[in-house]
Copies of this chain bind each other. A is one copy, B any other.
């Protein structure tokens, strides 16, 4: 059985994801598709709309064969570590390939870009630091530095101002630096851009756009044309049980409490909180009763919105710089769900796995990264501030991988 991997958040699973899933299977000619999926907190530094179990159900219903949790420490990390954790897991799972969606759509351009930046590593990094010292945000600095080193290049290169191209670049970089056996593939994303807020076709909209409509209108029927029926059912069931979709606005009373429970100084211990941001965060929490104006108050040219949200995520979950620095690579494989094919595949590769396979969390609860996943899940459920959320604390110990 040949397996291919994809890296996903499915927040929520929509028709664009379905396209990516089907194309990945075709492009890589694989029988098994394995998705490495973030848990309850995401790379944009946000709580997921619905929990990891609900998102696993959506994935399996749509045809993913096996869903593996990307540990918190990678799922909420900046792009390069996010990519490293995900590709490492897919490689450990003996996938022959991984397939990512990109604005670019051609692997060749990625290869050229990787080679260019490897050869010009020092010049590139120097340019980035110089630009950042001028107060330019990290993504912008990356982009400008890239323009500098690629000035006279004639081979096709990737446009690294596009978010999925950036992620794709990091996947390829991760596969190289990990000396992984797994081979990259890319397919072109259709129509909707990642950041698009409005719907861009009759059936395809970005997850960002879908979430915006959900929060603005609180009406699932407004987004139903962009979702497989199975996703719609899962979201309906979640809304029925949990009352609300999760976002920072909902979690803000708890976040605010946590921030004000700390001193400015002690906030600086949390991962990614740097350059006096502890003061800005603490001051903004003192005076702001809701999340949006709180963020507007913190926002600065030096840091992207996403970066600031990651700081808040780490404050929320008590994830420190020390823990971040102690994190190297995933130390376990945790299936969240599988269909029969996924199960057969796991059975087949089981004896060759270099990492422990965690189906029952209790048996591995001393694992530091796994403890973080369990904690992040618990705090997410408490963040919902509903009786459902209170009941879901400790559910990582009670819920077995979903079989579908």
Interface size for A (C-beta < 8 A) is 28
Q: How far is the CB of A384 from chain B (nearest CB, A)?
A: 10
Interface residues of A (CB under 8 A from B): 253-254, 256-258, 260-263, 266, 286-287, 289, 316-318, 371, 375, 378-379, 382-383, 385, 387, 390-391, 393-394
Q: How far is the CB of A105 from chain B (nearest CB, A)?
A: 43
Of all A-B residue pairs in the complex, the 7 with the closest CB atoms, nearest first, are A289-B390, A257-B382, A261-B318, A260-B378, A286-B394, A254-B257, A261-B379
Interfacial chain B residues near A287, Cβ < 8 Å? 394
User: Are B382 and A260 closer than 8 Å at their CB atoms?
Assistant: yes
Number of copies of this chain that the complex holds: 2
User: Are A385 and B318 closer than 8 Å at their CB atoms?
Assistant: no
User: Are B261 and A375 closer than 8 Å at their CB atoms?
Assistant: yes
Q: How far is the CB of A260 from chain B (nearest CB, A)?
A: 5
What is the CA–CA distance of A175 and B89 in the complex, to the nearest angstrom? 66
What is the CA–CA distance of A262 and B262 in the complex, to the nearest angstrom? 13
Known: A263-B371, A318-B261. A253 touches B382 (CB 8 A): yes
Known: A286-B393, A385-B253, A394-B287. A258 touches B261 (CB 8 A): yes
Interfacial chain B residues near A254, Cβ < 8 Å? 254, 257
Q: How far is the CB of A271 from chain B (nearest CB, A)?
A: 14
What is the CA–CA distance of A375 and B262 in the complex, to the nearest angstrom? 9
Interfacial chain B residues near A385, Cβ < 8 Å? 253
**Of B257, B262, B289, B375, which contacts A260 at CB under 8 A?**
B375
Interfacial chain B residues near A266, Cβ < 8 Å? 318
Interfacial chain B residues near A383, Cβ < 8 Å? 257
User: Are B317 and A261 closer than 8 Å at their CB atoms?
Assistant: yes
